[in-house]
Amino acid sequence: PPHESFAQRLADLLPSTIRTGTGVIADAEIAWVHAYRRYLWRRYCALVGGMVLLVGGMVQFLSQFSAPT
């Protein structure tokens, strides 16, 4: 029909936007979220471990520095 735009006439040539393989995408998303959470936990553990070592080192150094000779 003459009242259709050029984009509407081309719409018949384009593939459908309906996606059938959503199960694969969902599995990939779950795997990504799991890996990201594991990364965050490792990052937090490394940060806490570093802080413990830093404070322990400071206590050790300051206790030796302030000990009477």
Domain ranges of the chain: 20-65
For the residues 18-38, what does the mean pLDDT come to? Answer: 85
User: pTM for this one?
Assistant: 0.56
Q: Which two tokens stand for residue 29?
A: 């998303």
For the residues 7-22, what does the mean pLDDT come to? Answer: 76
Predicted pLDDT of residue 40: 97
For the residues 1-10, what does the mean pLDDT come to? Answer: 76
Query: What is the Cα–Cα distance from 57 to 46, expressed in whole angstroms?
Result: 16
| Banded model confidence at residue 26, pLDDT cuts 50, 70, 90 | confident
pLDDT tens string 40-54 = 999 999 999 999 999
Question: Helix (H) and strand (E) counts for the chain?
Answer: 2, 0
Residue 9 CA from chain centroid, whole number: 42
Comparing C-alpha atoms, which of 52, 32, 50 is closest to residue 42? 50
